[in-house]
Structure 1
């Protein structure tokens, strides 16, 4: 007996229901910590996007720097008398406030860019493994297990030591190391969804495999992948900062927060703490804000964690 024509339409399209979006939004806003994290994250993103307009100088334009302003304490006026260095300057005479805002742009670019690319690659691999099954599934999952068994920072150091510095190299390295998390989650969720009645109905109507995966299975796999994506952005920013601190991340001409912290490390013993302190606080606030948002998304989108 042929399934009814509207059977597929009854599939639980998770992200297509307005009621679900309303419930997710209301549950999310009920957590003060998550709201605070979202506000901080929004301010960080807006500041990074508006960097040329809200900073007194371009810290990486050599024509705007003065060696006489190197390592000035917070609140000191510039030698030219143009403005005040509210957060002080580093060893090259760069305004730390301006350097932090510009550094946020690089950190967010690396974190968000690598997480998005890794999410696309990992989700496609996970869906393929779940649908194909058999040897294809076994081969892909053994590759995932192999990648997850190695220490991430060690693998990143080895890859970047071979590829060299650069934003594109850092993003590519993080993608190679992070896609496995999405693949494992997408496969597990897809195997659950593949046993649902709406998938059987779609097969009965003769829909092609790619349409079933993309149109019916994928939307219901998105909630856990969205949570992983939010947390992986924070993880990627942390890894990039660590790699830049060790000298294998972004080049000095395009420094991120990690490289700014590294630039001030040599001055800590001379009591010029602000060169590393303020970039470190900016990095800490960004990571904590992303984690707060990701944790609340996990609680909202996973019914088993609901109170």
Structure 2
């Protein structure tokens, strides 16, 4: 086995990856901001040119008034319970599908188990002792006690800022994600990978509680901060660096050899699902307060 790379080379690679990722994400963000209005205008213009469009619409509405009314409500853009909630429900359903498929593969499939072991072995060249101690500090950002302290402080700030309607969403996100994670851990009862570093853990491996907690807690905090930002550029920066923090914590679990890659992926999916649930509850409470 080759010796790990030097600490400074590894640090340079990681910092470079973060800033290259920032550059690529910025380019994708700008392209999406440019293409979305263009696509919308083209689609609207094309729809208006369809012969007999209005007659067809009137016929369908007259024949299926309740269904059309329900669909119109689901696609309304003037309230959260319209199109935004519909998109959240669709995305949440997609995350459930991905998570259930991943859990089934872990339970029944040898291919994903083999891939997990190969990824764990492939990380050997970057398991430098100094870097491992850095990532051990990073992984502590998603320890249970750390997350509890972060949640309590965040709730206190939200309350003092008179944004108490965010607190139920935060609690739903945190408690729901942790409950589902520990049910999954003991229901599937997957063994941990071989402990190749000084780090160890006692609970079952699948899914990763640290990845779940990082996604749920730091994701919701980024949402709560970004919700009142008016600058799209600031929202993008907040979103990217919060995502980078979550990804770094998730990666630390694999680098320290306390989780397989599929454990981490499952934890991120669980956290993302409950994060969407927290968004939905918060936006619903805000909408109800406005009316």
TM-score, scaled relative to structure 1: 0.30
TM-score, scaled relative to structure 2: 0.31
Structure with the largest fraction of helix: 2
